[in-house]
Amino acid sequence: MSTHTAPFPDWHGTTILAVRKAGKTVIAGDGQVSMGQTVVKGNARKVRTLAGGRVVAGFAGATADAFTLIERLEAKLEQYPDQLARACVDLAKDWRTDRYLRRLEAMLIVADKDAIFTVTGVGDVLEPESGVAAIGSGGNYALAAARALMDTDLDAEAVARKAMAIAAEICVYTNGSLTVEVL
């Protein structure tokens, strides 16, 4: 049971997975949004391209909050072109210190052709060791599946799609309606 005290219902339902393999980077996100035990939308788009298609971001959490963060990230990418790590660190710093941003409830996975980062509101900017990162309610299922599939002959997109399918079979807050962006 949620201890969240906001007057809004407890929204669930996101799995975002990033896979980097053999020079190819993929972010996949499912489309399910749930309110309590009810699926309220099955085809939400939680993965976006940024910076003229050079960066991909996926979000989990409150949608309006995530859009605010993505807009801020885009501004940072304009300020620091081709410096994804610096843009993410600057966003995380602002997110942690700005009174308005501190209240936002979302997480991001951001990637370019060279790196993947998980960005959180507590100041984390984490780059995965294994080339795989995941967030959201089905994130741990997708992460485990993708890590197991990394040693196969599947390419990055195939790993992401198969891992997301596995997560959708296990997590009731994840569905098979995917948005997949490839760099």
- Give the Cα separation of 127 and 89 in Å (integer): 11
Exposure class string for 62-101: b at 16+ Cβ within 10 A, else e: bbebbebbbebbbebbeeeeeebeebbbbbbebbeeeeeb
CA-to-CA distance for 14 and 32, rounded, in angstroms?
A: 6
Active-site residue set: 14
d(CA 39, CA 21): 33
SS3 3: coil
CA distances to 12, 21, 32, 60 from 110, in Å:
21, 16, 20, 12
